[in-house]
Amino acid sequence: MSNNSTQQHTFANPGPSALIGLVMACFCLFAINTGKVEGTAAPVLACWMVGGGLLQYAAGLMELRNGDQKGGNTFFVFGAFLMFANALSLMTKYLLAQHGMPFDARIEGWAWLGITSCIILWTPAFLRKSNAILCTMVVVLDVTLILISLVDMAVIDKATYGPISGWALLIIGILGIYLTGAITVNEAFDRAVLPIPGPVLKDK
């Protein structure tokens, strides 16, 4: 995820595979939030989230080893919370509901609120150091996480704002598809076959 071409890398760029994990999560959560699939899909989705989490963690380790603090930490956060914790949460809520056991899922909204606040504070680093496509994904993610936090906290109506967050996740996923393809193809051909615009905030 780093744009520093002079940086000495120990590993090749793990970003494309990690982006595929993010694309998978965004598409599946879009389907859940917009009612394309039933809530009973949760246990199956949890399994896929574990796979995505493994990609995110592996990519995070490689990015940190390559000296990219921003990319490495972002992959760890996504792996830990968007993937692994979300997988455990989906499975737990499903099993509790199946057994008629009460639970207050609003606690998840408070958890997401804290994570969202941190990611919003990280956003200027992406605007300065990452390509414009990834910057757009992060900005849309900021808005999406705010909606998810407030919906989970029951502050705003899920029926109204859940689908909005779902469509926003789909946008992130589509941008991720292009970016993972562009990075992989451009590296294979040693030229910009698929254009990737530079950072939003540039040096004067």
Whether the pLDDT of residue 113 is over 90: the answer is yes
**Class for the domain spanning 15-189:** mainly alpha
- How confident is the model at residue 88, as a pLDDT? 96
- How confident is the model at residue 201, as a pLDDT? 86
What's the CA gap between 1 and 134, in Å, rounded?
A: 9
What's the CA gap between 45 and 39, in Å, rounded?
A: 10
- How confident is the model at residue 204, as a pLDDT? 63
- At residue 68 the predicted structure's pLDDT band, cuts being 50, 70 and 90, is confident
Q: Torsions phi, psi of 181, nearest 5?
A: -70, -45
Lowest pLDDT segment from 8-22, 29-43, 118-132 = 8-22
- How confident is the model at residue 195, as a pLDDT? 96
What's the CA gap between 63 and 203, in Å, rounded?
A: 24
The reply to whether the predicted model has a pTM over 0.85 is yes
* Mean pLDDT rounded to a whole number for the chain: 92
What's the CA gap between 76 and 57, in Å, rounded?
A: 6
Whether the pLDDT of residue 161 is over 90: the answer is yes
DSSP tag of 39: G
- At residue 103 the predicted structure's pLDDT band, cuts being 50, 70 and 90, is very high
**173-185 mean pLDDT:** 96
With a CB cutoff of 8 Å and minimum separation 6, the contacts of 51 are 21, 24
Span 5-23, pLDDT tens digits: 445 567 788 889 999 999 9
Give the percent of the chain with pLDDT over 90: 86
Span 127-159, pLDDT tens digits: 998 999 999 999 999 999 999 999 999 999 999
Whether the pLDDT of residue 3 is over 70: the answer is no
